[in-house]
A and B are shown apart, each in its own frame.
Chain A
């Protein structure tokens, strides 16, 4: 599984970083980006889905 934050949609709500800091980080301006090229380590798939389900701007996508 891979996650991706669309930087043109992200407005810095920081929900993904709060819910899944293993998968996402934020820069000094609060813009989110995926860690480890978006590769989701085994066992963290639910966290990836939770981040997607809580992004108000629909900026996160998942490739299964």
Chain B
């Protein structure tokens, strides 16, 4: 992992960089040190000015305050939306509804909600079980595996491609684009990267047009038939929503599954409890979501304003670090301890307020099944001491390589 274009961080309170390798390596300590030094909101001039609130209370307040904070830029970039020539203005934004504000947001979200309700998602369970078992079958009888590269990264890609109606074998392409959008935020805007963005757009245009000509029973066709304010969605809105579902659905769940498996590889007591009591897995997954929440979202300040003693400027970025909110000891007892049978768990891993993760039911299903099948097939596994676990940088955090030794298989 390399430094961002802004270079190494000099001071976490005034010059933080949430996409730096140092942040990815040590974020829990960074948050605690900042809070303990009386700094509940850190600032940086990087990315054109960015704020980082650290308490559950502040994250909750900003997530609810759509009057002052816009979702037009949910991922912090080196350029503000107003500096991008092809940006779609608020309240719609480039990838509705995640990039949308009220009142447009509710309409765009209402279109998608029925496709991700629990009663529509639950029937995918058997399919996810089959995918997980197939991935483990594909590992053969190897004792050394990579649970990120051979398992967790494939599960959400295969599921969302099937739901959308995109070729499942294009999984590598999707992951490349997701990486481009999410992990590359601090990298230079080179010709090669711009070329990749163009290829992503061309790919989507091709498949959206193909669905216009050959409608079928999948989410892209569903979106093409959907209406908003009495009119069909524009192909651009459809492509934007497909980008959203691909990006939001892949990296995040991959990270959630990977972090859960990493915890179980490094905590043999918890692993044994879940192997012996698989009915504890749903509660454990909630605790993994709390303790290792993968997603930090962003907002843009709408107008110059004072917020809890700091002066925010129009178009400043504001990060919503749900992972930090989930480790706030004012909200959670023993916030830094992973308690797999925690009874009270109002974690914010899927966000708070009107932008609650649309795919949370699908993500939960994938995480539960992925952990369940992995433990069934590999009741004993540990991190390979000769290899290195690597973690992503940026607004989605999870392990990108998980070298494991399989100690027992069933």
- Check A30 against B113 for contact (C-beta < 8 Å): yes
- Check B117 against A30 for contact (C-beta < 8 Å): yes
Which of B114, B345, B350, B353 makes the CB contact (< 8 A) with A29? B114
- Check A13 against B356 for contact (C-beta < 8 Å): yes
- Check B347 against A30 for contact (C-beta < 8 Å): no
Q: List chain B residues, Cβ under 8 A from A53.
A: 343-346
How many of chain A's residues have a CB under 8 angstroms from any CB in B? 18
Interface flags for A1-43 (1: CB within 8 Å of B; 0: not) read 0000000000111100110000000111110000000000000
C-alpha spacing A57/B346, complex, angstroms: 8
- Check B352 against A30 for contact (C-beta < 8 Å): no
Q: Is the interface of B mostly helix, strand, loop or mixed?
A: helix
Given known contacts A54-B286, A54-B345, is B117 in contact with A28 (CB within 8 Å)?
yes
Cβ-based interface call for A50 (8 A): yes
Which of A27, A28, A29, A54 makes the CB contact (< 8 A) with B346? A54
Q: Is the interface of A mostly helix, strand, loop or mixed?
A: loop
Interface of chain B residues 350 through 390 with chain A (CB within 8 A): 350, 352-354, 356, 360-361, 364
Distance in Å: Cβ of B297 to nearest Cβ of chain A:
14
- Among residues of A, the one whose C-beta sits closest to the C-beta of B353 is A11
- Check A56 against B117 for contact (C-beta < 8 Å): no
Q: List chain B residues, Cβ under 8 A from A62.
A: none
Distance in Å: Cβ of B126 to nearest Cβ of chain A:
18
Chain B positions within 8 Å of A, measured between CB atoms, are: 110, 113-114, 116-119, 282, 286, 343-348, 350, 352-354, 356, 360-361, 364
